[in-house]
Amino acid sequence: MELVAIENKRRAVTKEEKYNEQKRYFGLIDAYLDSNLNEPYWLKQPGIASIVTDSLHYCNEKFYKLWCYCIMPNHVHLVITTLKDGLPLYTILQKHKRHTALQCNKVLKRLGQFWAQESYDHIVRNKEEFERIIFYTINNAVKAGFVKDWKEWEWTYINPELERMF
């Protein structure tokens, strides 16, 4: 009887494989957000959504360049570019969440956590990916079946510099 040794070699994961895995993970997170019917839908209220949009626009050019967003009933999609030598992304999100949570909770006459502790963020690597993510973000309400065209959703914004592309 002859024994054959099989060597398990660890193979290096390519950048493309890693990127594809991140895209798959994003898809799972997004599907969860779209299907989670148990969450509070505070962002569906115009007064609450306005607090969030006002904050996003207020911070534009102070902490980041705002490209687009779509406020859904239970989550927000946002595309920004942090400013060179500016605050790190986690600090920007922390400030935004803190401010909007306080303001929204006042309107809702409640205390407690408003936003999820964690956010899903993704670094955009090239122009094609940037355009794909912008398209995805502004069409989120269309995908959810709320409107037929992204321009119909009151809580969707796209930077005027990009409007001609979409």
The 10s digit of each residue's pLDDT in 102-123 is: 999 999 999 999 998 888 888 8
Task: Note whether 155 and 164 are within 8 A (CB).
Answer: no
Contact 43, 75 (CB under 8 A): yes
Tokens of 27: 């898809």
The b-or-e profile of 143-165 (16+ CB within 10 A means b, else e) is: eeeeeeebeebebbbbeeeeeee
CB distance 137 to 144 below 8 Å: no
**In whole angstroms, what is the distance from residue 154 CA to residue 152 CA?**
6
Give the pLDDT score at 36. Answer: 60
Rounded-to-integer distance, Cα 3 and Cα 24, Å: 40
The CATH architecture assigned to 38-163 reads 2-Layer Sandwich (3.30)
| pLDDT tens by residue, 18-37 | 777 777 776 776 666 666 65
- Domain ranges, ordered by start, for the chain: 38-163
pLDDT of residue 64: 97
Residue 3: pLDDT band by 50, 70, 90 thresholds? very low
Average pLDDT over residues 113-135: 91
Which pLDDT band, with edges at 50, 70 and 90, does 84 fall under? Answer: very high
